[in-house]
Every structure is written in structure tokens, then in C-alpha cells.
């Protein structure tokens, strides 16, 4: 049998580029589509790269029909929660409308397996922690709503058509490839760990802590940081399940361990051996106090077993990448 070919949208981005490498290492044939609005061409370490936009139906149609694509892994979306509040149309146009166009183009080309980058943002302020998949969905931002709307569309499509999907709800993706080849590069950067490491590397003077009066032991927000390579491993397992005839599903992806902003900064100081000055800042709109995953479902259904589940390891890998990256700037 020919090697299955997998289309990765947004494969030049942070998680997408790690996914390209994971699939190539697992022996898949990969084609990346990216418009390079947020990604980097040099982050795509192999396979075929095609520059283009998922909103271009003819273009996606050509990519799918000129190859023998068996499944699509869809990362191409905007990710800034705050920006989604100030510019919701940008988020609904890309994360929702363009995703729907992609899904319809896939169906018309007979490509019926889809893996979707969803988010813990679909839950909103949790009623229980750790959060199970059946927890009520009340997203706090257009970003979270766009992800939840796509998940609901996927459920409807699964019921109506022979179209299978796995939605993966990421908690806080973090870390970098252990080889040092790939890492997190966002412009602008809004995520805690890269911003903290920017300070450790001398590229920024201090890091702001958004809110110290939350109902948590040290008053700062608690998050579940999950290594990007472990996330990609879960996508690989989901892909193998769909290609093997498995059912549609939605899974949380997190380690089940919560760390406060202060604990992340203290760990980064220990790992880097540098002092990280902090500035107290007001709460950031839309930030729940605690987001921690119950990921027992994906562990049971796909035998997912995170390999790099220690915060120290996640930060060590991110630090190796950050040192290289900031010295090259
Ligand atoms: N955060 C912070 N300072 C920053 C960036 C983030 O205090 O410069 C906090 C943020 O309020 C949240 C946590 O760090 O509580 C993780 O934020 P991040 O943006 O990394 O991920 P999110 O949880 O929004 O997906």
C-alpha cells in the first residue's frame, strides 16, 4: 500500500511545524499548506511545502486532487484570545468560515478524515477542575467560540455524512523539539513561557504578571502546560485511529498538573540560573483562574502517554531553543 499522504494546514507555525516533523519521523508523506501570515518557511523541515490560503477553494481543491491525501490536520487559525475580543470578525472569518470552506472542499474531493486543533478555551470558566470533556461549554471569547462552533459543525457532519474527525482540545502548548531544531516563535509573542525566557536571555527587561488576586494559593492563574511533542504524538495516534476506521471523538490534551504563573517563573529561574524581574499588572480579560485537564479519555481511548510531563523538562527544551533563537536575532 502507498504511504498515506497527510495535508497539514498551518504547518509552518509552532505546533504545525512540530507535527510535520512528527509525521515525517513516523514515515508519512506530508504536504504543508501555509500562507505564512504567522508561520515561517524555514520551520517546515521536510515534505512538500505549498504557499497558499485555506480560503482559496480552487487552490485547496488542486492541492487535494493532485495528490493522494488521506487526511487533513488543521492548524491554520488565529490564536490570540485578546485580539479575538477586539477584532471578532478576523477570528470568525478565518477560524470558522475558512475552516468550513476547507471541510466542504475536502468532502467534494472525497477526503473524509480531519483532525482539528481545538482548545481548552471552549469551556470558559470551569465549574470543576480537572475539566472532563463533557463539562459544559461556555467560551469567554470569540476565539473560544470559533473553536466550539467548528466542533459542533464536525459533530453534525459526522452524523450526516461519512466524515470523521478528532478534535483535540489543547491546554497550554509549551516547550520545543528536544533536538533544538524547532521551537515557539510568535510575532507578537503573548505566551507566558517564551516571554519569561525572553527576559532570562536578556532580550526583554521584565515580565508582567497579569493578576495576583485570583482565588488560587499564590493569587496567580493556574494552567496545565503540555509539551508540544506530546501534543503531536496525540495527533499521530488520532490520525492512526481515523485511518484505521476509528470513530470521531473530542479529547482534552493536558498533563493534569496545574502550575501558577509564579511557579512557572520560579521554575524558569531555576532552569536558566537567571533572575527574572516581574511587574504586577492588572488581570487580562478573559483569563479563567484555573484550567487543568482531565485527560483520562485520550489516555484510555488512544493510549496517549505524555513523555515530557515535567514542567522543568518543558522549560529546559524551550530554553535551549530560546537561547539559540535570541542569539541569532
Ligand atoms: N501571563 C502573564 N504574563 C504574560 C503572559 C501570560 O501573567 O506576559 C499569564 C496569563 O494571564 C495566563 C498564563 O500566564 O494566566 C498563561 O497565559 P498564556 O498566554 O501563555 O496562555 P493562555 O492560558 O492564555 O492560553
Give the span between the Cα atoms of 249 and 316, in whole angstroms. Answer: 33
Residue 179 lies in a domain: no
Q: Does the C-beta of 120 come closer than 6 Å to ligand 1?
A: no
- Give the Å distance between the CA of 222 and the centre of ligand 1: 9
pLDDT for the residue numbered 82: 86
Cα 33 to ligand 1 centre (Å)? 29
Residue 59 CB less than 6 A away from ligand 1: no
**Distance, CA of 193 to CA of 211 (rounded, Å):** 16
299 lines ligand 1 (CB under 6 A): no
235 in ligand 1 pocket by Cβ < 6 Å? no
Closest C-alpha to ligand 1, atom 18:
191
Claim to verify: residue 244 and residue 313 sit in the same structural domain? no
- Among 48, 160, 173, 141, smallest CA distance to 103 is for 160
The answer to whether residues 265 and 151 belong to one domain is no
- b/e per residue 302-312 (b: at least 16 CB within 10 A): bebebebbebe
Distance 43 CA to ligand 1 centre (A): 24
143 part of the active site: yes
State residue 115's pLDDT score: 98
* 207 Cα nearest atom in ligand 1: 8
On whether both 232 and 89 belong to a single domain, the answer is yes
| Residue 3 pLDDT | 82
In a shared domain, residues 156 and 263: no
**Which of 85, 129, 144, 191 gets mutated to test ligand 1 (max ligand atoms within 8 A of its CB)?**
191
Specify the DSSP class assigned to residue 228.
H
Which parts of the chain sit beneath pLDDT 70?
1, 328-329
Phi-psi region of 18 (alpha: psi -120 to 50; beta: other; left: phi over 0): alpha
Contact 197, 250 (CB under 8 A): no
Same domain, 162 and 104: yes
The answer to whether the beta carbons of residues 240 and 305 sit under 8 Å apart is no
Q: Which three cell numbers stand for residue 127?
A: 465549574
Query: Residue of the nearest CA to atom 4 in ligand 1?
Result: 192
| 253-294 tens-digit pLDDT | 999 999 999 999 999 999 999 999 999 999 988 889 999 999
Residue-wise pLDDT for 60-107, tens only, equals 999 999 999 999 999 999 999 889 999 999 999 999 999 999 999 999
> Domain for residue 186, yes or no?
no
Burial of 208 (0-12, 13-18, 19+ CB in 10 A): middle
Residue 186, pLDDT score: 85
Query: What region does 10 belong to: left with phi over 0, alpha with psi -120 to 50, or beta?
Result: left
Ligand 1 centre from 285 Cα, in Å? 11
pLDDT of residue 64: 97
Residues 239 and 264 in one domain: no
- Domain, as residue range, for 201: 192-223+256-328
pLDDT for the residue numbered 300: 98
The answer as to whether 243 is a domain residue is: yes
Angle at 16 between CA 259 and CA 262, to 5 degrees: 15
Amino acid at each position: 500500500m502507498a504511504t498515506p499522504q497527510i495535508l497539514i494546514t498551518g504547518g509552518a507555525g509552532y505546533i504545525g511545524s512540530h507535527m510535520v516533523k512528527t509525521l515525517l519521523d513516523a514515515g508519512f508523506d506530508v504536504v504543508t499548506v501555509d500562507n505564512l501570515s504567522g508561520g515561517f518557511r524555514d520551520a517546515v523541515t521536510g515534505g512538500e511545502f505549498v504557499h497558499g490560503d485555506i480560503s482559496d477553494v480552487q487552490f485547496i481543491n488542486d492541492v487535494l486532487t493532485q495528490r493522494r491525501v488521506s487526511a487533513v490536520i488543521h492548524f491554520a487559525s488565529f490564536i490570540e484570545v485578546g485580539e479575538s475580543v477586539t477584532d471578532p470578525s478576523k477570528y470568525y472569518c478565518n477560524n470558522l468560515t475558512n475552516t468550513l470552506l476547507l471541510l466542504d472542499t475536502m468532502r467534494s474531493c472525497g477526503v473524509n478524515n480531519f483532525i482539528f486543533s481545538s482548545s481548552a478555551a471552549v469551556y470558559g470558566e470551569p465549574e470543576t477542575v480537572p475539566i472532563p470533556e463533557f463539562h459544559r461549554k461556555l467560551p469567554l471569547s470569540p476565539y473560544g467560540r470559533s473553536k466550539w462552533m467548528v466542533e459542533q459543525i464536525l459533530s453534525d457532519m459526522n452524523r450526516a455524512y461519512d466524515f470523521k474527525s478528532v478534535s483535540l482540545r489543547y491546554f497550554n502548548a509549551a516547550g520545543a523539539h528536544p533536538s533544538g531544531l524547532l521551537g515557539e516563535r510568535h510575532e507578537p509573542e503573548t505566551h507566558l513561557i517564551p516571554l519569561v525566557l525572553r527576559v532570562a536571555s536578556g532580550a526583554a527587561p521584565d515580565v508582567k504578571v497579569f493578576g495576583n488576586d485570583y482565588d488560587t494559593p499564590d493569587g496567580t492563574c493556574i494552567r496545565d502546560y503540555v509539551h508540544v511533542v506530546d501534543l503531536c504524538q496525540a495527533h499521530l495516534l488520532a490520525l492512526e485511529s481515523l485511518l484505521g476506521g476509528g470513530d470521531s471523538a473530542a479529547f482534552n490534551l493536558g498533563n493534569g498538573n496545574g502550575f501558577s504563573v509564579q511557579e512557572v517563573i520560579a521554575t524558569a529561574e531555576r532552569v536558566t540560573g537567571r533572575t527574572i524581574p516581574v511587574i504586577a499588572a492588572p488581570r487580562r480579560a478573559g483569563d479563567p483562574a484555573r484550567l487543568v485537564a482531565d485527560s483520562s479519555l485520550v489516555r484510555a481511548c488512544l493510549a496517549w502517554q505524555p513523555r515530557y510531563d515535567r514542567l522543568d523538562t518543558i522549560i529546559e527544551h524551550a530554553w535551549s531553543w530560546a537561547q539559540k533563537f535570541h542569539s541569532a536575532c
